A = this chain, B = another copy of it.
Amino acid sequence: MRVKNAVGRWVESEISGKTFKPFSGAKKHVYSSKVTTLVNALRRCGLRDGMTVSFHHQLRDGDYVINMALEAVRELGVKNICMAQTAMFNVHEPVIDFIKEGVVNRVEGSINGVVGDYVSKHPLDFPVVLRSHGGRWAAVKTGELHPDIAVIAASAADERGNATGVIGESAFGPISYSQVDAMYADHVIVVTDNVVDYPCEYQEIQERYVDYVAVVDQIGDPKKIMSGTTKITENPLKLKIAHACVDLMDAAGFIKNDMVFQSGAGGISLAAMKYLGERLEEKNVVARCATGGLTKLIIDIYESGRVKHLYYSQVFDDYSVKYIQNNLEMPADIGHYADPTSKGRTIDGLDTVVLGATEVDIGFNVNVNTHSDGRLLHGIGGHQDTAAGANLCIITCPVFRKSNPIVREQVTTVTTPGDVVDAIVTNEGIAVNPKREDIIEKVKGKIDLIPIEDLKDIAYEETGGPAELDLGEEIIGVTKWFDGTLLDVIFRVKE
């Protein structure tokens, strides 16, 4: 059919079997400032009962944004929110009140500390869903977890919504968790205490995805944002374990030119990185990349020329934040780093990773979520992702802590299955997963190995074995493998 369109042209509504809509008019695309308050932003995004609201955790224990956002939800009289944060810390203790009041009734995301303790004893309407960093990215991408509203904290943003964590008083490093939320949430709010001239000079989040820029007095406490300890442990037991990790990597042939290693923060991992740096120097080899989290220690190794690229997804200390402001070497967002549904990730082909555990068992299964009393006190982080990505995944732990056996018959909760865990390095020796015959063969004559069952026996002898657990029947949480399948359930802890 011939139709006259808005510019006065006779056009066809169907050509060669395809239908066309006639042009109906053009107008100028202008822009207006997206700056408003947090309450207004949530209202204009159509916040209502039952919605899912997502957050990132990059302000860590210094974060004010989650609490402020939930206060705004309360102010708007909205209930039954599902929180979809990437992690939660003790600073989020007020969440307990929001749960009691019915403002929050579900949590899909990692929980650390007091809120986890509370939830362990007071089940929510739906169990807490714990996913790895990569697993969460995939869940948002595939729609398994759909944020209605994404709330993204930024240490600087312009009035159009281009936003960053690299600069500003509350700088925390590149925003790396929220890109998927920005892309898939129906509505996106950037929360900042620092509106900068357009265009914001770093833009991990771009205006194309942002509906509102909510301005607050302060997004967090800079001192606590960077609280991740970067002081290397002085505990001789832990230093011994860290040293053993590097010996194992070396004996297994991983410390060579172009190795790719994952670095992290936290006691033993940090010490292992220090020893790894020294070993690179001694052997006069140059690693290809350090992935994961950035610390002064890793930057020092980089500056000394012992690693070619910093390919990092998080920044853990003040020194590193200032460093990247002048040398923004290849940040990788979490999708690039660990999305299991992608066609390639920075952690695929990792040579080595050193990870912690609250418990490990004789099947090499690892628990990082619950304590042995059943309480859900920790998130998953990138544990699963890097374990499956690394050729040599090393778990470090003491054989027991106080009266509690850490190496045991069965972990309380499975976080990372033994299928992808290669070695357990403890103060009482190193156990290598029998499936890794290649590694066992390589280290023969260089490293003394001990069967994991023997480590368990030592633990049980010294402690009398695990305390009996008297848990409730209700499921308060679940751990998922990064492909979305159900790894384990977490039961209620009696008060």
Chain A residues with a Cβ under 8 A of chain B: 5-9, 11-12, 15-16, 18, 20-31, 34, 125-127, 160-161, 188, 197-199, 201, 203, 206-211, 288-289, 309, 311, 330, 335-336, 339-340, 342-349, 363, 365, 384, 388-391, 414, 416-420, 475, 478, 481, 484-489
Contact = CB atoms under 8 A, between A and B. Distances in A.
Nearest to A134: B29
A21 B199 contact: no
Contact of A363 (B8, B125, B342): B8
Given A22-B486, A27-B388, A201-B309, 19 more contacts: A5-B485, A5-B486, A7-B417, A7-B487, A15-B489, A16-B127, A22-B485, A26-B417, A28-B388, A29-B388, A29-B389, A199-B309, A199-B330, A199-B346, A206-B344, A207-B345, A208-B335, A208-B343, A210-B343
A481 B23 contact: yes
How many copies of the polypeptide does the oligomer hold? 2
Given A31-B349, A417-B26, A420-B27, A9 B339 contact: no
A93 B339 CA distance: 41
A20 B486 contact: yes
A343 B359 CA distance: 46
Nearest to A201: B330
Contact of A208 (B9, B311, B345, B419): B345
Contacts of A484: 21
Nearest to A477: B15
B488 A126 contact: no
Contacts of A199: 289, 309, 311, 330, 346
Given A16-B126, A330-B199, A28 B420 contact: yes
B21 A343 contact: no
**8 pairs of A and B residues whose beta carbons are closest in the complex:** A207-B344, A208-B342, A31-B348, A20-B486, A26-B419, A23-B485, A31-B349, A7-B417
Interface SS, A side: loop
Nearest to A212: B343
A322 to B, nearest CB: 21
B127 A15 contact: yes
B206 A336 contact: yes
Contact of A5 (B15, B208, B487): B487
17 contacts: A9-B414, A11-B478, A15-B478, A20-B486, A21-B486, A23-B417, A23-B481, A23-B487, A26-B416, A26-B481, A29-B348, A198-B288, A207-B343, A207-B345, A209-B342, A210-B343, A210-B344
Nearest to A482: B26
A24 B483 CA distance: 10
Nearest to A328: B328
Given A206-B336, A208-B342, A330-B201, A126 B18 contact: yes
A343 B125 contact: no
Among A7, A29, A161, A489, max chain B CB count under 10 A is at A29
Contacts of A211: 343
A174 B183 CA distance: 22
Contacts of A21: 484-486
A458 B479 CA distance: 77
Nearest to A11: B486
A9 to B, nearest CB: 5
Contact of A9 (B197, B389, B489): B489
